[in-house]
Structure formats: C-alpha cells, structure tokens
C-alpha cells in the first residue's frame, strides 16, 4: 500500500459524508455542515482540518462560467503527439494556451484528451492549427460537447 493510500485509509463514512457535502457547496459554514452530518460544529471543523492536512481536500475553488470570457464552444480534442514530442514538453506548452482548460494523458489511439473552451468554430480551428504547428501534435480528433452534467460526489466504499 502506498503512502497516500495509507493516509486516506483513515477516512471513514462520516468523512465521506462531509466530503460529499463540501463538493456540492464548499462555502457551507461549519454549523450548517455539522447539522447536515449530525455532529457538533467543533467536531466537523476538526475533521475538515484533518482532511485538509492529509491532502484529502486538495483545494476550494470557484467555478466560473466560461461564457463570461466569451467562450461558447466546448469540445474534447483528442491529440496524438509526433514521435519526437515528449509528453512533458507538450504539457508545458499547454500552460500558455488559453483555450485548453484541462489535459488528460490517456491510453489508446490518442495520447491526450484536451478539454477546450473556444469563442467559436474559427477559434477551435486556430487552436488545432496552433497545436499542429507549434506543440508537436501529429493528429487531432474533435468532439463538440452538446450538454454537460457534473456529478460531484465522493466514491462510496
């Protein structure tokens, strides 16, 4: 068992319930969270601090609507790198590409799946051309996202 697995082994059902609530509303007060999990505010606060210190809670963040920035076209872009392109170099290049919101190293025919948010079709074409010309990409395959549903939940064991 790895070190991280051992750290998280102490997460019990109450911790999972707390994590489930926090994933849905990270701004909930300790008193409201305590009421949801039938504990005192102090006990909940201590558990949250422990979950933070062990790394079970990685971050609290605001999810901002990409439309605020004029991005209305969303897609998954599968990418196959050229043989001479190192994955680390490609990932470093992506840090400066505004349309890319996430990158996933994957198995299968393609090397990466990129989550992209573009202004329009022309912006997507510009992104693909940029990746092919400057980021070491040999081949791409685009899939437009028609609808997104997000399910924030802790895995049950």
Q: Over the stretch 72-117, which tens digit does the pLDDT of each residue have? A: 999 999 999 999 999 999 999 999 999 999 999 999 999 999 999 9
Kindly report, residue by residue over 26-54, the tens digit of the pLDDT.
999 999 999 999 999 999 999 999 999 99
Considering just the CA atoms, what is the radius of gyration of the chain in Å? 20
| Domain 3-53, CATH | 1.10.10.10
Region 62-73 average pLDDT: 90
- Domains of the chain, by residue range, sit at 3-53, 66-144
Residue 121 to residue 27: CA distance in whole angstroms: 36
Q: Do the domains spanning 3-53 and 66-144 agree at the CATH topology level?
A: no
Quick check: 155 pLDDT over 80? Answer: no
| Domain 66-144, CATH | 3.30.70.920
């Amino acid at each position: 068992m790895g070190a991280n697995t051992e750290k998280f082994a102490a997460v019990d059902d109450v911790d999972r319930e707390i994590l489930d609530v926090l994933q849905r509303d990270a701004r909930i007060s300790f008193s409201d969270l305590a009421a949801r999990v039938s504990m005192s505010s102090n006990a909940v606060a201590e558990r949250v601090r422990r979950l933070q210190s062990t790394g079970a809670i990685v971050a609290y963040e605001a999810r901002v609507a990409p439309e605020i920035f004029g991005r209305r076209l969303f897609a998954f872009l599968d990418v196959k790198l050229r043989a001479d392109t190192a994955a680390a170099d490609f990932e470093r290049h992506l840090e400066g590409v505004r349309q890319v919101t996430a990158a996933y190293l994957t198995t299968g025919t393609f090397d990466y799946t990129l989550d992209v948010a573009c202004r329009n079709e022309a912006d997507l074409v510009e992104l693909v051309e940029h990746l092919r010309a400057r980021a070491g990409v040999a081949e791409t395959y685009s899939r437009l996202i028609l609808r997104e549903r997000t399910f924030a939940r802790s895995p049950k064991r």
